[in-house]
Structure 1
Amino acid sequence: MQRMGMVIGVKPDMVDTYKRLHAAVWPEILALLADCNIANYTIFLREPENLLFGYYEYHGSDYEADMAKMAANPKNQEWWSFCIPCQAPLDTRQQGEWWAMMEPVFHMD
């Protein structure tokens, strides 16, 4: 299992929209996440900085293939069409990232 952490901004005028979207995530998206070997997915919001911190556990054996499968899914692309306009990616993210991935530095079981 891999533990994944990531961060992105949320536009101040879109915080309520983002919260509303995630209060009722579409069942197809939840099923797709599970099908792509993602569990314990949680998104935290820090206001007033308007930062989103995402955490999930990846239980598969081919992360790149699972992420490609997720990105290619038409329902997920529709979901992203609502979420992406709410987000403000960090200028310091790596090439090809939307959410900036974070390095794990501590974990306690």
Structure 2
Amino acid sequence: MQRFAFKMKLKPGFAAEYQKRHSEIWPELAQLLKEAGVSDYSIFLDEETNTLFAVQKQAGQSSQDLGSTAIVQKWWAYMADIMDANPDNSPVSVPLKEVFYLP
């Protein structure tokens, strides 16, 4: 099991909407993530900077590119109005280097 952490940026004033949309995550998207080996997925918000900090575990070396699936592309389009996004609507995401872990 590998752990991944990354950060994204929420547009100002959209914290409640971001949380609402994720509390109503589409069942087919949640299922896709689980089938791809993603588990223990959390997203935290630094309200001072609107920085989203995400951590997830992923089983194995999945070669499946989730970003190429229709459901993920639909989710990206749904979220693009409230967070920094790339031209393809994927969230601007910066991977983070692990510097400490206490199992």
Band of TM-score, shorter chain: 0.7 to 0.9
The one-letter code sitting in structure 1 at the alignment partner of 2:100 is: F
1:2 paired to 2:30: no
1:7 positional shift: 0.5
1:23 positional shift: 1.2
Aligned position for 1:105: 99
Aligned position for 2:30: 30
Aligned position for 2:74: 78
Counterpart-to-counterpart distance in 2, 1:49 and 1:31: 31
Aligned position for 1:57: 57
The two structures have a TM-score, normalised by structure 1, of 0.81
Where is the helix percentage greater, Structure 1 or Structure 2? 1
Q: Is the 8 A contact 1:5 1:101 kept in 2?
A: yes
> Could you say what the CA RMSD is over the residues aligned between the two structures, in angstroms?
1.6
Counterpart-to-counterpart distance in 1, 2:92 and 2:60: 21
The two structures have a TM-score, normalised by structure 2, of 0.86
1:88 positional shift: 2.4
Q: Which runs of 5+ in 1 are unaligned?
A: 90-96
Q: Which runs of 5+ in 2 are unaligned?
A: 86-90
May I ask how many residue pairs the two structures share in their alignment?
A: 98
Q: Is the 8 A contact 2:6 2:94 kept in 1?
A: yes
Q: Is the 8 A contact 1:36 1:60 kept in 2?
A: no
Identity between Structure 1 and Structure 2 (%): 27
